[in-house]
Amino acid sequence: MKVIATGTEIQAVDACTINEIGIPSMVLMERAALAVVQVLMDYMEELDLFGYHYAPTVLVVTEGGNNGGDGLAIARLLSERGCSVDVYQVGGLKRESEQYQQQKHILQQLHIDIKEGITTEEMEQWKHSRYDVVVDALFGVGLHREIVSPQKEVLEALNALGGLKCAVDMPSGIDSTTGHLYGTAFRADLTVTFGCMKTGQLLNEGPDYCGDVITADIGFPAVVFEKQPFACYAYESEELKCLLPVRKSGGNKGTFGKVAIVAGSETVCGAALLSAEAAYRTGCGLVKVVTHINNREAIQEKLPEALLQVYQSAEEAEAMITEAAGWADCMVLGPGIGTDETGHRLVSRGMQAECPVILDADAITILSENAAWREQRTASAGMILTPHMKEMERISGRRIGDLKQCPWEEARRFAQENQVICVMKDAHTVVAVPDEESSYMNLSGNDGMATGGSGDVLTGMIAALVAQGLTLSQAAKSGVFLHGLAGDRASELRGAASMLAGDIISGLESVLRDIHHHIEGKQENYHEMV
């Protein structure tokens, strides 16, 4: 599990490390610089830039704060490794930090020139220098204002250059918490960030300006991260095998859970099919689909494994939902059911189920039209809502722009107010649980998953995990993570632009097969040792 910190949280980590633990700021600065230099040296060596008659050229631009101090240390270390380094200080700050002054003194003692103040002519000359690497060390995680002159013109000039563009900790001009663009920002090819990822590297304009993000350990003690809660955390791929339900060798179809899916309508069938197949592929033993009679033939043909109940009237559907709720370990309610009177009646009845209920798509839209839905809910086993941003706007009353600023806070507020688990879907989906301080932020997945039916697949997957014995919290988080990994696998095979929701299910099969092979391999090795 990895921490994802806000700008304020990582500043608290830094302060605690220095002031309470006693690790000097200059030690952290040197380790930060070494981390950046190692990344850049690997890049330059990969491109074979160190020739017999050639030294790689590097431009390092700083301001007088501690991020600038990192930049001066980077310039020194690169110079010692044979690079030709030009160092500039913009000079737009009123004072220099103590650490910056120390690093400046070191460079002066080593006769490494720092050009203070940058003229228009110098910025124009940069274009002709054709630097191999450009390093942004103006501002770090503490920036909370619009970029103005002279830094504005400098950043614009840097963005016009070629070569690899590397940001130190955060691209200057991007808010480290929200990813908000402060008018102008450094557009990096890669960002070497310290300690842990920052929320601003994942949200809003942040990803477009950060490029590839590499997290470097600079010596923050583990105990410091344990001292405070963080806004978000994420799973790592190697954790997945521990997150999924354990398959029992002597199990049967009943052992592996039963899911009821109330989905589809008179004119919509695909959502039911995708949810049901995803539930089966995630390991569920039995899946019952409650849908309109018009969908019978398609479901029987494409997914004959599904148990099928079809209705013609709302009354029939309500009776089937009541029966299915008593049979199932988990119920899915909403994909493709429509928002007409029948849809409203299906949701009303499903809200009374005693088994856990996952509400998606049309069910969320219907709830948003009924301000009293919280009071009408009688289900006691727990609920998961899986809104995308537009649906979240409808049901929460919060504007999308506000939701995107701090999605972990918005999701947690909604979860706590309504006592439901909220899976707020976006480029980085957030899962909030009412009684948990930190939210889960998903890092798997890709833009190819922004396709019709992707959410239906996710809902079926989460339901299958609940049915197999995971808690609702565990199922929501691991389901989102697994869904993203399946999408990544599908993207490798199809390409992001060509992906369909069904490809995510194919990717799921591949990911789960690899996991089970890994587990079986460990078991075989154990038996051989015994």
Out of 142-156, 263-277, 366-380, least confident range: 366-380
Q: Which of the pair, 376 or 366, is modelled with greater confidence?
A: 366
- Cα–Cα distances (Å) from 466 to 5, 30, 44, 257, 436, in that order, read 29, 48, 48, 8, 19
Exposure string for 422-433, b = 16+ CB within 10 A, e = fewer = bbbbbbbbbbbb
Per-residue model confidence (pLDDT) at position 373: 87
pLDDT more than 70, % of the chain: 97
Q: Which helix (H) or strand (E) holds 71?
A: helix 66-80
pLDDT band at 527 (very low <50, low <70, confident <90, very high): very low
Amino acid code (one letter) for 30:
E
> Which tokens is 344 given?
């409203």
Mean pLDDT over the full length of the chain: 94
Amino acid code (one letter) for 91:
G
Query: What pLDDT, in 10s, does the model give residues 20-42?
Result: 999 999 999 999 999 999 999 99
Distance CA 479, CA 509 (A): 14
Per-residue model confidence (pLDDT) at position 379: 60
Distance CA 180, CA 345 (A): 42
Per-residue model confidence (pLDDT) at position 526: 36
For residue 369, pLDDT beyond 90:
yes
- Cα–Cα distances (Å) from 169 to 40, 67, 362, in that order, read 14, 8, 42
Q: Which residues pair with 5 in a beta bridge?
A: 198
Q: Which helix (H) or strand (E) holds 367?
A: helix 362-368
For residue 396, pLDDT beyond 70:
yes
Block residue for tokens 């633990």: 21
Domains and CATH numbers, the chain: 2-230 (3.40.50.10260), 255-380+450-520 (3.40.1190.20)
Per-residue model confidence (pLDDT) at position 376: 74
Smallest Cα–Cα separation from 508: which of 449, 431, 452? 449
- For helices 472-494 and 454-467, angle between their N-to-C axes, nearest 10 degrees: 140
For residue 249, pLDDT beyond 90:
no
Query: What pLDDT, in 10s, does the model give residues 315-351?
Result: 999 999 999 999 999 999 999 999 999 999 999 999 9
For residue 530, pLDDT beyond 70:
no
Query: What pLDDT, in 10s, does the model give residues 429-458?
Result: 999 999 999 999 999 999 999 999 999 999
Out of 51-65, 286-300, 459-473, least confident range: 51-65
Backbone angles phi, psi at 503, to 5 degrees: -65, -30
Smallest Cα–Cα separation from 349: which of 308, 383, 315? 315
Per-residue model confidence (pLDDT) at position 250: 76
Per-residue model confidence (pLDDT) at position 523: 45
Distance CA 423, CA 337 (A): 20
For residue 398, pLDDT beyond 60:
yes
Q: Which helix (H) or strand (E) holds 233?
A: strand 232-234
For residue 53, pLDDT beyond 90:
no
**Preceding peptide of 150 cis, ω within 30°:** yes
**Structure pTM?**
0.93
Query: What pLDDT, in 10s, does the model give residues 479-521?
Result: 999 999 999 999 999 999 999 999 999 999 999 999 877 655 5
Per-residue model confidence (pLDDT) at position 520: 54
Q: What is the DSSP letter of 425?
A: B
Compute the average pLDDT of residues 366-382: 83
pLDDT band at 522 (very low <50, low <70, confident <90, very high): low
